[in-house]
Amino acid sequence: MAKPRTSLTPEQRAAAFKALGEATRLRIVDFLREREDEATGTEVAAGIGISLALLCHHSDALVESGIVVKRKEGQTSYWRINRGALDLMVRDLDG
């Protein structure tokens, strides 16, 4: 029986793997994967021991890849992992 095809294009998968190809970004993803809810940018930065400025530097690649979802409410940014995107990536690897 054939496995269902993913909805990610090769370009989307390449962007996701490129985003995960940096240690700080992997630490951000690991931190968010362990949470049930979203976290503020300040919580993420403190949780992995980096500055908020460095977190912001890495946010674009993670958000553009679809791995992380970020929303802004007033002056505060809230981050959460996109488990669906990660599931699609893993399913693609499984072949």
CATH number at residue 86: 1.10.10.10
Is 77 part of a structural domain of the chain? yes
Is 3 part of a structural domain of the chain? no
Q: Which residues contact 52 (CB under 8 A, 6 or more apart)?
A: 41, 42, 45
Q: What is the reported pLDDT for 1?
A: 46
Count: domains in the chain: 1
Q: Closest Cα to residue 78, out of 57, 55, 61, 50?
A: 55
Is 2 part of a structural domain of the chain? no
Q: What gap in Å lies between CA 25 and CA 31, rounded to an integer?
A: 10
Range of the domain at 62: 10-94
Q: What is the reported pLDDT for 6?
A: 52
In which residue ranges of the chain is pLDDT below 70?
A: 1-7, 94-95
Helices (H), 9-81: 10-19, 23-33, 41-48, 52-65
Q: What is the reported pLDDT for 3?
A: 52
Q: What is the reported pLDDT for 15?
A: 85
